[in-house]
Structure 1
Amino acid sequence: MKNADKGDLDAITSQLNGKKLRIGIVQARWNADITDSLAEACLGELMQLGVKAKNVTLVQVPGALEVPLALQALADRSDYDALIALGCIIRGETYHFELVANESGAGVTRISLDHGLPIANAILTVENLEQAQARQVEKGVDAARVAVEMALLLETMAEA
């Protein structure tokens, strides 16, 4: 909707009402204690925002590097208004952390741009388990809110 309160500025805003949205979620199983909490918080918030459980698809994959491929498969179906990526990468003693963090993040972004589909990226990249635990619920909730907001925003922009 256009907001005339900004003078000549044509501002486009959206409300967080997800009752008509279809959302796909891809959850990495690696660090399952964390990713299960992310998923639980995300699903709970989606329901609070009005998204119907029957309109949510949850796909689990082995790890963060597999998330983009599953997101791409969902995006190719064209059934979804937004997607959500859930995972947890904890820094270790090798370069593997950087590889997984960079490549999974780049893959998520590429799929979003290639498909013109919002993807809320809640793949945590943390130094240790304590940091992951401190963020697991908040980031799950944030991912749900971002997905709903961006889906509605793109819909509103298309109508403007």
Structure 2
Amino acid sequence: MKVANQGSPSFEGALDGSELSIGVVQARFNDAITSAMASACLAELAHLGIEADAIQHITVPGALEIPLALQAMADSDAFDALIAIGCVIRGETYHFELVANESGAGVTRVSLDHGLPIANAILTVEDEAQAWARAEPKGRDAARVAVEMANLLEDIE
């Protein structure tokens, strides 16, 4: 935790995951991309000190199924933070907007309903090239966000 010296205290969560338990939900739709994201995420979680047995990684069919799996994990009270990994690529129909909007809203709802940090790494991109350009960086970033937010909420409490 960092505390500013001027004015009111300012908190920033630490990137030490050694005491944390993390759940990861990965959509299998666009599997090559989401698998690359998950690999980068899991490697970063290990780099941040999280033991393999403190990570539960599950897969679901697609982005719309992610919130329900997150909710089940949140209901278990076994995790300090969760991570949502998916990839929605724009097509020719309205389906892209539906999946992007509803999966994002579902992730946010679970997080707020449970007071549990969820790093939303559901990519919403125009084409496959954009997805590949973002896959590994977004996976690593999701791991850092989950750890930082879990620690921040612990510090606030």
- Could you tell me the TM-score, scaled by structure 1's length? 0.96
Counterpart secondary structure, 1:3: coil
Per the alignment, residue 135 of structure 1 pairs with 134
- CA separation in 2, counterparts of 1:86 and 1:100? 14
Residues 105-124 of structure 1, C-alpha deviations (whole Å, 9 max, x = no match): 00000000000000000000
Residues 106-157 of structure 1, C-alpha deviations (whole Å, 9 max, x = no match): 0000000000000000000000000000000000000000000000000000
Q: Describe how 1:101-120 pairs up with structure 2 within 5 A.
A: 101-120=100-119
Per the alignment, residue 98 of structure 1 pairs with 97
For the 8 Å contact 2:2–2:13, the answer to whether it is kept is no
Q: Structure 1 segments of 4 or more deviating over 2 A?
A: none
- CA separation in 2, counterparts of 1:89 and 1:34? 10
- CA separation in 2, counterparts of 1:13 and 1:39? 25
- CA separation in 1, counterparts of 2:92 and 2:8? 50
Of all paired residues, the percent bearing the same amino acid is 64
- CA separation in 2, counterparts of 1:86 and 1:94? 23
Q: Supply the AA of the counterpart residue of 1:3.
A: V
Per the alignment, residue 155 of structure 2 pairs with 156
Counterpart secondary structure, 2:58: strand
Counterpart secondary structure, 2:73: helix
Q: Supply the AA of the counterpart residue of 2:113.
A: D
C-alpha displacement at 1:3, in angstroms? 1.7
Per the alignment, residue 15 of structure 2 pairs with 16
Residue 48 in structure 1 maps to residue 47 in structure 2: yes
C-alpha displacement at 1:15, in angstroms? 1.6
Per the alignment, residue 120 of structure 2 pairs with 121
C-alpha displacement at 1:10, in angstroms? 1.1
- Could you tell me the TM-score, scaled by structure 2's length? 0.98
CA shift in 2, pair 1:9/1:86, >3 Å? same
- CA separation in 2, counterparts of 1:137 and 1:4? 32
- CA separation in 2, counterparts of 1:126 and 1:59? 23
- CA separation in 2, counterparts of 1:115 and 1:23? 15
Per the alignment, residue 39 of structure 1 pairs with 38
